[in-house]
Structure 1
């Protein structure tokens, strides 16, 4: 395992430009209208055309960005394939746009099913299930009433309509792209069946393998009893078995890096530390919304609240499902979480 993380490419590509990581492998960067203000995209060259790895949000501004790239660093070849690592809008948003122009869509089955369902499920107002989810988490009545009157985020807002067919990517599958042989390894926790690609000293890590930030591990109204943190920790442990010195990881965000084994150990330890702080906080009953401080150790603003709540519930579910904390609804139906008594924890371990 490497003892440090290094960044061989310390500066990202300029807008409309690309950096050649290896012959026939380009790194491009697209803007995002959020705190995490970019997504990395990679292009692999074959004689018949480019394979894009992810493609950014769908919007008029992003179409303009792609028009510049297609007329600039990608002008030598057509885009023949779009390989999507996972279903989140900043990675899949433009995929349908490219498919409508003749590209093949390559994606895991679960990612395609999830994205296709979400892009077709357009909601004018939050569902009753969403309102109940927020109530159980402890949001105030005023905040829930405000949300109830607003149009929620919809995938259709920033994801181009997806085709009814795709090429499936599966665990262990081999691909030949960009003059290299790649093996697919699927990750879990941040997104179901997230594709990572491994080829000798190169790893296309998507959001499963990020260098300086941790991806959101969240529980949503779609699956409120889910345990994504356990899936995430298991994936980090499994993928660490494939890490080796000298691998260059090309992530979905931030900078390419080396030191993957160390980074995976850090990601695991960061969550175990957060779980310990959360358990210490729950010496008395707390609402989920009251658990931000021990987890994030900073104030959470309104724009961050949704992701923060999802991550908090992931950590609470993890502790609860292992008998380390209890939960019970108060008279108003708000869920209260509290650390288990020592005898309760011992019983859960037997």
Structure 2
């Protein structure tokens, strides 16, 4: 099928949602026997996260924790009484390290004295801290100045990062999840399927018998997961990792019921994976057209994301823009030069050769 035909066929297809509406925040709904969907409140425009509660032999296994807020703790207290009825949490599985998925990890683990299960990359990402109350370090300031961000906007980003809701209650340790592992929880076997791009080593859980996929943020039905570059790894290529993950997830059956971290469960995995790829391809094409003349990352950001409401939006939009620029550089389609302390990106003329990994790193 041609690319144009693929786009046309995709445009006529729609996802299928078994539930027309979601339950209220703080409430639970049974998906299938022994698998419950908890809709947890978040203090943002994206006002909820979906957690999944799996009945085990003498208690429960929970997938993700919600944020470290009073509203999150109150929702859990309600679940402890109304659903768990005094039974304990036996283990906490965390799909990835982001604060809305792991914020209450230490609180739950300590309360029930139960183990945490995560991938290696995600556990160690928990320990990466942003700027503290003493202000940013030189690397943070240099990173955004070289991206062409104005000082006033850098200050707005710092203010957003300093909010306490972005903190994670750390556990003492963890049990490592690996690709292809089978987890026996209750009467089901869940296969660990690892993705990347949105986070370093994101764990999804696939139950072949019941055709269920707990997808975390790796596959969402309407919004697209953030694919960002930060000062932590400025030369990374998370968009390349994301595309590779989409190809691996395409190997799962299209018939699965996807249980995402946001919005409602849905069917139509393969369609959604194609839509996610097309979303980023549009951004890449926009950049290729614009970069016939040199632009800073901030100028490119204004083209891709012209409307940012606050410092947090600006931070995320810049991270996404840099991810697309880094992808194009690794493909060999774009080069950059440091001009007056700001990186300028420009399209490579002539035949494009993918760069891949350089033979030498020039420090």
The 1-side partners of 2:353 and 2:175 are apart by 48
Alignment counterpart, residue 105 of structure 2, candidates 91, 95, 107: 95
- Residue aligned with 2:17, SS: coil
The 2-side partners of 1:9 and 1:230 are apart by 33
Alignment counterpart, residue 196 of structure 1, candidates 180, 201, 204: 204
* 1:7 alignment partner in structure 2: 17
The Cα of 1:123 is off from its aligned counterpart by: 5.2
* 2:124 alignment partner in structure 1: 113
TM-score by structure 2 length?
Answer: 0.88
Cα deviation code 1:262-305 (max 9, x no counterpart): 11111112111210111101121111111234434x52222410
The Cα of 1:253 is off from its aligned counterpart by: 0.8
Aligned CA distance change for structure 1 residues 202 and 347 (closer, same or farther; 3 Å): closer
Q: Does 1:264 find its partner at 2:273?
A: yes
The 2-side partners of 1:336 and 1:292 are apart by 13
- Residue aligned with 2:214, SS: strand
**Does the CA-based 8 Å contact 1:122-1:156 persist in structure 2?**
no
Aligned CA distance change for structure 1 residues 63 and 317 (closer, same or farther; 3 Å): same
RMSD, aligned CA: 2.3
The 2-side partners of 1:233 and 1:206 are apart by 17
More displaced 10-residue stretch of structure 1: 286-295 or 257-266 = 286-295
**Does the CA-based 8 Å contact 1:292-1:300 persist in structure 2?**
no
Alignment counterpart, residue 250 of structure 2, candidates 230, 240, 243: 240
The Cα of 1:315 is off from its aligned counterpart by: 0.1
* 2:219 alignment partner in structure 1: 209
* 1:328 alignment partner in structure 2: 337
- Which structure 2 residues correspond to residues 220-239 of structure 1 after superposition, within 5 A? 220-239=230-249
- Which structure 2 residues correspond to residues 311-350 of structure 1 after superposition, within 5 A? 311-331=320-340, 333-343=341-351, 345=352
TM-score by structure 1 length?
Answer: 0.91
The Cα of 1:158 is off from its aligned counterpart by: 2.7
Cα deviation code 1:244-266 (max 9, x no counterpart): 3x210000111100000111111
The Cα of 1:242 is off from its aligned counterpart by: 1.4
Aligned CA distance change for structure 1 residues 330 and 248 (closer, same or farther; 3 Å): same
Give the length in aligned residue pairs.
342
The Cα of 1:81 is off from its aligned counterpart by: 1.0
The Cα of 1:142 is off from its aligned counterpart by: 3.5
The 2-side partners of 1:243 and 1:146 are apart by 44
- Residue aligned with 2:129, SS: helix
**Does the CA-based 8 Å contact 1:44-1:51 persist in structure 2?**
yes
* 1:137 alignment partner in structure 2: 147
Aligned CA distance change for structure 1 residues 42 and 348 (closer, same or farther; 3 Å): closer
Aligned CA distance change for structure 1 residues 23 and 147 (closer, same or farther; 3 Å): closer
**Does the CA-based 8 Å contact 1:123-1:152 persist in structure 2?**
no
The 2-side partners of 1:100 and 1:137 are apart by 41
The Cα of 1:145 is off from its aligned counterpart by: 5.7
The 1-side partners of 2:153 and 2:183 are apart by 48
**Does the CA-based 8 Å contact 1:49-1:78 persist in structure 2?**
yes
**Does the CA-based 8 Å contact 2:331-2:354 persist in structure 1?**
no
Alignment counterpart, residue 292 of structure 1, candidates 278, 298, 301: 301
Alignment counterpart, residue 185 of structure 2, candidates 177, 181, 187: 177
**Does the CA-based 8 Å contact 1:328-1:336 persist in structure 2?**
yes
* 1:309 alignment partner in structure 2: 318
The 1-side partners of 2:124 and 2:301 are apart by 32
* 1:126 alignment partner in structure 2: 136
The 2-side partners of 1:114 and 1:312 are apart by 22
The 2-side partners of 1:123 and 1:342 are apart by 48
